[in-house]
Structure 1
Amino acid sequence: MRATLDFLLYDWLDAAALNGRPRFAEHSRETFDAVLDACERLARERFAPYNRLSDTEEPRFDGERVHLPQATHEAMRAYVESGMLAAAHDYELGGMQLPCVVEMAARSFFSAASVSMSGYAMLTQGNANLLLAHGSPRQKQVFARNELAGRWFGTMCLSEPQAGSSLSDIATRAIPDGDDHAADPLGPRYRLKGHKMWISAGEHELSENIIHLVLAKIPGPDGRTIPGVKGISLFIVPKHLVDAEGRLTGERNDVALAGLNHKLGFRGTTNTLLNFGEGRYPVRGQAGAIGYLVGAPGQGLACMFHMMNEARIGVGLGATMLGYAGYLAALEYARQRPQGRPVGPGGKDPAQPQVPIIEHADVRRMLLAQKAYCEGALALELYCARLVDEQRTGTPQAADDARLLLEVLTPIAKSWPSEWCLEANSLAIQVLGGSGYTRDFPVEQYWRDNRLNMIHEGTHGIQALDLLGRKVVMEGGKGLALLAGRIRDAVARAAQLPALAGCAQALGEALERLEQATRAAWSSGDPVVALANATPYMQAFGHVVLAWIWLDVATCATRGEPDDFRRGKLAAARYFFRYELPKIGPWLAVVESRDTTCLEMQTTWF
């Protein structure tokens, strides 16, 4: 895995060139490598050995406290001490000013070692990053800085039992807390009442405080709640109340754990139902959780999307590395497991010794599929991180291009690995056969952990609606056109190479088909019809994007001295073009024809 990371970072994305920019001027490849070395070692020593423990000893609530294995406490303490929570931030914030692409490469080790244990860090980073973007100066100082220091951890509280992903239907309410509510130094102070469901890391004792970012509705000018998403605001709701200097006051906020959700996988991260303002922990004699408004009233969803989009890429990385971990386990097993004999001209010779199963073509097919899915997905996630660096430190034009590309690619960065790296985990189980279906080997846990990634941070269907309904048509289709231009540039480069010319032609044709399907989907002007087949559209779109990624990676692989490593990259690219890219035809056919089979299906017919 490390060799692939180094190749993608330095040969393909040229991360070392970022050191020529003022923000990263104090870094070098040596400092980047030192960070990667440290994180690889920490993940191997403090996370990976306890991944199974975090699964078998899932969080337990005794009515007062949530209990986690001691290994989780120690792993998160070591992570905090490593400084990785603030790694990409300014030196003044205790950060290292690492490029985002290097930070993401470093985080990949933790996702592969134990995605559920490392989930606490991902949520805390996203929470702090949102506050740094939208919070007041005091909120940044008190809440974001303490999170980046690892003193406090964070969550995001969106879904509710009755609303799920339909945020316009949330019922949590916030009302001003007293006549002086607007004068609180931590921000306008409100009292919140409601329930939040599926809150990852919502309760634990890994840190001295938990900072919840909560979506709630406030009264409009007439005193009534504004319907829909326009009435949603965002609030900081700490588990333990703090003063304006960030000191704990010793008073518990009115946030209570109603219970833990018992999950198929991803068990090392607590998942909770939280009650806000039920009166279990009254504040100053009153029910209602104290919350501080972030940003302007009614702008809560816009603020929260900062964390949601970051989390979606983080989910994509987690899905990728679960697939990658399963692939490496399957590869090791296939090289060691003897079974069967090669077929010669006269058939199998039972007198010959058995061969490792990796010698069988179908096992190689399954391994090659996993390699194509997982290494391609890793390249995509790192490319998105590289766009973040361009958005932050590039020229104005490069920064705006990066913004548009990220808008279009984020649904793919989340959805494609969560579907196809899950398939990689399924193939890993298949390679191990009956052993893969037992808990004696890790691949079944990787599959269970990965199954969540198609659901949380926006389900597969929601990502599809976002892609076809918003992202490809936003700003007059400018983002899609920009992506298409990048793809055509890669096609033109690869077309000059005999080994890749056929792949280049296939990708050019696939892009034209995708653009045609996009136009056809919207040709009726009816969004109900256009979006009825959004998921097959997203599947085809994702495969075109991954074919582009693989073509560009393969082009890079041809520049060095041919060796097993580079030949492996070229073989994975060929596999993707021959086995995977042709799948887009049936997907796009239903989009182009605006097929109404699913729309016409009546509920009573089921």
Structure 2
Amino acid sequence: MAAPLSRRDIDFLLYEWLDVPALTERERFADHSRETFDGIMDVAQDMAVKLFAPHNKKGDQNQPYVGDDGKVVLIDEVKPALDEFAKAGLISCGFDESLGGIALPMVVTRAAMAWFQAANPGSSSYPFLTVGNANLIAAHGTQEQIDTWVKPMLEGRYFGTMCLSEPDVGSSLADITTKAIPAGDGTYSVSGTKMWISGGDHELTENIVHLVLAKAPGGGPGVKGISLFIVPKMLDGERNGVSLVGLNHKMGNRGTTNTLLEFDGATGYLVGEEHLGLSYMFHMMNEARIGVGFLATSIGYAGYLASLEYAKVRTQGRNPASKDPASAPIPIIEHADVKRMLLAQKAYVEGALALGLYSSKLVDEEQTAGADAAKRAHILLEVLTPIAKAWPSQWCLEANSLAIQVHGGYGYTTEFDVEQYYRDNRLNPIHEGTNGIQGLDLLGRKVVMNGGEGLAVLAETIGATIESARAAGGAAADYAEQLAGALGRLQATTATLWKGLDPAVALANSAAYLEAAGHVVIAWIWLEQLLAVGDNVGDFYDGKRAAARYFYRFELPKTGPQFDLLDSLDRTTLDTDPAWL
């Protein structure tokens, strides 16, 4: 079975661009080396191809269901694959040795996980959520909570979830109604209904550790009244007042159970302090947002590689210069418009993967660099997180659409994988905060935080790349001038949007702002990759040059009209009466 990602590209990004082995000079990562990182990649690639990819289509065609005994039924292949995943240490590898891990850098664990996300989005979601859950409790829980819940999760005996939304409350968490009443013994009685809970019920593990947002007495209205609780599915061998109401049947990503859960006086354990639950949950949510960006990227990448292989072997039509109708048809990859669609996919997925790995390395910088560098990495990560979630969710989905187009009519059939890739990826602009919410976060919070510090740090970082590209000369210098102009527009437009005006006007245009800012960031990421390519020769490096050229010729110019629209302080959406729609 063909690999769903490019190992050559991952190696380029980790070693020729990001210089990840340099992290081993820091105390936390001192026991590692490039050999360690290569070993993890080898294991991840091998397991993803052999254990996860083979049942991806079967999981899609045989959705989870509730059996007569009330238990969730999954296809047989899921559990052994996940058991091997855990046995290989892939759940725990990024955690401290005290928790059973080996303290791998985040950038390496993310790269490893991308193999599984590309091979099988449904099955990979269970450990993905578990790692985020365990990270949150390890950061904010007590030692007893870590021993009781985190360690079994890292061993693969328990899996974890995040329970935020409710049937009548999507992203507006201030309006949740789930309650947590002190039980008098240090625990809480949690009651309410949670909706859209991925991995919310199954029989894959001994237990499921739910992280539940609920309101405890005395917290007042709004998000400041929200607390966070550990609510296990099983407690002392018995069901803990957590019942499965039903499964949601999805358009794609069907291999992951998606549930409606009822908490009826379930025993819960407070994480941290009362009424600070949302701040704790953002630890997992921000991690999950970058993870969703990786998921979108990985599915987009799998579709790109599938359509690339198809285009090489599918023959149709002839070269426009050929006048002989009896001549043999040519592979469609030789047609200019097919090359356009493949170049677009390549520019999207390789740019998105690079952004995800860059953002992941910022986590390592934040944890291990000196004080000033760590602070700067934190600020830059804050600004990039909404883009790292939303941009791949939009444009790698577009890559999947183009993969179907390359296949022609065959791409629209279930016999070929690309139609499933599109359906699987369509979820990613929605969950972990819709792309619209990411736009509000970027424009309403991140670029203006601390008096504009967020945007300033981003601009300084991009500016340093521009100067390096100018010094390099050639195409890189030409792109540097184009990027400098786009960056200047981004800074000026941000100032225009917030120049003493009603915030509603600015935020009404936050979606356009997110798209434009995202394209500027990906253009910067492509210039970074081009500088890493340098004077190297070969098809791989020429492919990078072609993708960078495509992005600067076809994509970055799209930001001009977007900035024009934003500068006009358009009120079209604000002034539209709902009765007109």
Matched letter for residue 507 of structure 2 = L
Check whether the contact 1:507–1:544 (CA below 8 A) recurs between aligned residues.
Answer: yes
CA contact (8 A) 1:199 1:271 kept: yes
- Point out the more displaced range, 100-109 or 545-554: 100-109
SS of the residue corresponding to residue 213 of structure 2 reads: strand
Give structure 1 stretches of 5+ with no counterpart. 183-188, 242-248, 278-287
Give the AA of the match of 1:257: L
Q: Which amino acid aligns with 2:401?
A: S
Unaligned 5+ runs, structure 2: 1-5
Shift of 1:456: 0.3
Q: Are 1:452 and 2:439 matched, yes or no?
A: no
Match of 1:246 in 2: none
Q: What's 1:311 paired with? A: 288
SS at match of 2:159: strand
Q: How does 1:200-211 map to 2 (within 5 A)?
A: 200-211=198-209
Letter in 2 for 1:44: V
Secondary structure of 1:124 counterpart: helix
CA distance in 1, matches of 2:433, 2:345: 24
Task: Please state how far the C-alpha of 1:327 moved relative to its aligned partner.
Answer: 0.2
Q: Percent identity?
A: 58
- Is it true that 1:110 corresponds to 2:116 in the alignment? yes
Rounded Cα–Cα distance in structure 1 between residues aligned with 2:32 and 2:509: 47
- Find the partner of 2:369 among 372, 394, 408: 394
Distance 1:356 1:153 in 2: 47
- Which residue of 1 is the match for residue 3 of structure 2? none
Aligned to 1:508: 484
User: CA offset at residue 62 of structure 1?
Assistant: 2.2
SS in 2 for 1:274: strand
Q: Give the deviation of 1:151 after TM superposition.
A: 1.0
Give the one of 196, 202, 205 matched to 2:194.
196
Q: TM-score, normalised by structure 1?
A: 0.94
* Residue 529, structure 1, aligned to residue 535, structure 2: no
Of 146, 150, 156, which aligns to 2:156? 150
Please tell me whether residue 268 in structure 1 is matched to residue 255 in structure 2.
yes
Provide the rounded CA distance (Å) in 2 between the counterparts of 1:528 and 1:349: 62
Instruction: After superposing the two structures, state which structure 1 stretch, 523-532 or 327-336, moved more.
Output: 523-532
Q: Could you tell me which residue of structure 2 aligns to residue 236 of structure 1? A: 230
Give the structure 2 partner of residue 338 of structure 1.
315
Deviation for aligned residue 1:558: 1.4
- 1:47 to 2:34 alignment: no
Map 1:59-78 → 2, pairs under 5 A: 59-62=64-67, 64-78=70-84
- Tell whether the 8 Å contact from 1:540 to 1:584 is kept in structure 2 after alignment: yes
Q: d(CA) in 2 for partners of 1:427 and 1:219?
A: 52
1:398 shift after superposition:
0.9
State whether residues 524 and 530 of structure 1, in contact with CA within 8 Å, keep that contact through their aligned partners in structure 2. no
* Over 2 Å off, 4+ runs: none
What CA distance in whole angstroms lies between the structure 2 residues aligned with 1:62 and 1:587? 51
- Separation of aligned partners in 1, 2:291 and 2:28: 23
Larger deviation, residues 137-146 vs 374-383 = 137-146
Say how many residue pairs are matched.
574
C-alpha separation in 2, matches of 1:568 and 1:395: 37
Given the two structures, how large is their TM-score scaled by the length of structure 2? Answer: 0.98
Which piece of structure 1 moves more, 449-458 or 479-488? 479-488
Q: Deviations over 1:337-382 (max 9, x none)?
A: 00011011xx532121110000000000000000000000000000
Matches within 5 A, 1:550-569: 550-559=526-535, 561-569=536-544
Which of 298, 311, 332 aligns to 1:357? It is: 332
- CA deviations over 1:562-597 (Å, ceiling 9, x no partner): 111101001100100000001112222222111000
The C-alpha deviation readout for 1:107-150, integer Å capped at 9, x for no partner, is 11101100111000110000000001110111111111111111
Give the match for residue 417 of structure 2: 442
- Secondary structure of the corresponding residue to residue 155 of structure 1: strand
Whole-angstrom CA distance in 2 between matches of 1:40 and 1:370: 22
| 2:91 partner SS | helix
Assess if the C-alpha contact under 8 Å between 1:175 and 1:219 holds in 2.
yes
| Counterpart Cα distance in 2 of 1:27 and 1:274 | 42
Q: What residue number does 1:257 align with? A: 244
Contact 1:198 1:261 (C-alpha < 8 Å) held by counterparts: yes
CA distance in 2, matches of 1:295, 1:91: 23
Write the deviation string for residues 448-470 of structure 1: whole angstroms up to 9, x where unpaired: 00000000000011000000000
Instruction: Report the Cα offset of residue 23 of structure 1.
Output: 1.4
| CA–CA distance in structure 2, aligned partners of residues 361 and 494 of structure 1 | 29
Question: Partners in 2 of 1:303 and 1:90 — Cα distance?
Answer: 20
| CA positional deviation for 1:438 | 0.2
What is the root-mean-square deviation in Å for CA atoms of aligned residues?
Answer: 0.9
Find the aligned partners of 1:604 and 1:526 in 2 and give their Cα distance: 24
SS for the counterpart of 1:289 is strand
Q: Which residue of 1 aligns with 2:33?
A: 28
Give, in whole Å, the separation in 1 of the partners of 2:482 and 2:122: 39
